[in-house]
A = this chain, B = another copy of it.
Amino acid sequence: MPDEVTTDESLAPNPVIERPAPEAAKRAARQRPLHEAVVDRLRDMIIEGELRVGERLHEFNLAETLNVSRTPVREAVKLLATEGLVELLPGRGARVAALSAKTITDLLEVIGGIERHACELAAERMTARELAKLSRMHERMAGYHQAGNLHDYFKLNNEIHVAIVAAAKNATLATTHAALILKARRGRHAALASQARWAEAMAEHELLMKAFAERDGRKAGEIMLQHDLRTREVVQRILEASKP
């Protein structure tokens, strides 16, 4: 899913987790589980770099910062460990997991494989309606490209990748893909790579749509895989250049 984009915008200066006052809870349709909110909050803090790589996750401090008790924090940390964002130190808490160049490129490689598979399946299973919608998204993206609107291009590009995976009509595939994309968000470098490959990537998407129109899954998959692997290579070069 190259063409990664960082969907920040919300810089969240205040980490405290808002929750309806005890009495106001009645009005709120339903209260979101705290531990879930904490997971999201901590994930953002890690992805946005508020918590630095290797930094110990201090449950008491975090609980105080987020204005919750240690319990939901503990649950959240364990959940984030399954996502690979934090590393559990048995008996000594947890710390933000390192993200080596190898980890990132491995991630991008797997995402490429998944998206290839998604293309193959989607080409066969996509309804005419879905194909039409995808076409419209693609056209819109082409417009952003011509207009030099990088931000909206990135956003839509991500949506297209997700839409293709959804069109494969395989829930496990979609879940797996989503989880990997989430992790890949940590590599901001990917965004740079996309930028460098902007024109090229656009051309590849063009070919991809053509393959979908022909319902040629094999071809679509191949294009997607190459598309992803090229971005991966650029990312790899950037990473090697930054710290060799």
Contacts and interface: CB of A to CB of B under 8 A. Distances in A.
A176 B176 contact: yes
Contacts of A75: 74-75, 78
Contacts of A33: 90-91
Interface residues of A, number: 30
Q: How many copies does the complex hold?
A: 2
A3 B180 CA distance: 27
A114 interface: yes
Contacts of A30: 90-91
A222 to B, nearest CB: 11
A35 interface: yes
A103 interface: yes
A173 B90 contact: no
Interface stretch (A8-16, A105-113, A155-163, A234-242): A105-113
Contact of A170 (B71, B106, B170, B176): B106
Contacts of A173: 106, 109-110, 113
A103 to B, nearest CB: 7
A25 to B, nearest CB: 12
A78 B90 CA distance: 19
A79 interface: yes
Interface string A61-92: 00000000001001100110010100000110
Interface string A24-43: 00000010010100000000
Report, nearest first, the 9 A-B pairs whose CB atoms are least far apart. Answer: A113-B117, A106-B172, A106-B170, A110-B172, A82-B82, A110-B173, A107-B172, A106-B171, A75-B78
